[in-house]
Amino acid sequence: MTEQLTTADELGKLLERCVRQDQVAFKALYDCTSRRLYATLFNILRIEAVAEEALQETYVKVWNKASEYKSELGQPITWMTSIARYQALDMLRKRRIREDRETEWEAIPSLDTMMTQPDPSQMAEYQDILEQCFGRLSESQRQCILRAFLEGLTHDELSESTKSPVGTVKSWIRRGLVSLKECINEHA
Partner 1 sequence: MNTPDKEWWIAQAGEYVLGTLDYADWVTFNKTIEHDREAQQLVVEWERTLQPLADSLAPMEPGDQVWDAIDTRLFGTTRPSSSVTQIGAHRATTQSLERKIDRWRGYAGLATAASLLLASLAWVNHLGVRDQVVPEPAISVAQFDAISIVRDAESSPLWVVDAALNDGFVRVTAIAPPAIDNSKSYELWIVKPDNAGVQSMGLIPHEIDQSYLLKVSAVNESPVAFAVSLEPAGGSTQDVPSGPVLYQGVYQSLKL
Residues 31, 33, 14, 54, Cα dihedral to 10°: 100
Q: Whose Cβ is closer to partner 1: residue 9's or residue 48's? A: 48
C-alpha 125/C-alpha 146 separation (Å) is 19
Q: Whose Cβ is closer to partner 1: residue 13's or residue 30's? A: 30
- In whole angstroms, the minimum distance from the beta carbon of 117 to partner 1 comes to 5
- In whole angstroms, the minimum distance from the beta carbon of 131 to partner 1 comes to 8
Q: Whose Cβ is closer to partner 1: residue 13's or residue 36's? A: 36
**Cα dist. 79→12, 173, 178 in Å?**
11, 23, 23
Q: Whose Cβ is closer to partner 1: residue 7's or residue 154's? A: 154
- In whole angstroms, the minimum distance from the beta carbon of 154 to partner 1 comes to 6
- In whole angstroms, the minimum distance from the beta carbon of 141 to partner 1 comes to 12
User: Which residues, other chains included, contact 154 with Cβ-Cβ below 8 Å and sequence gap of 6+?
Assistant: 98, 148
Q: Whose Cβ is closer to partner 1: residue 13's or residue 103's? A: 103
- In whole angstroms, the minimum distance from the beta carbon of 92 to partner 1 comes to 8
C-alpha 36/C-alpha 109 separation (Å) is 19
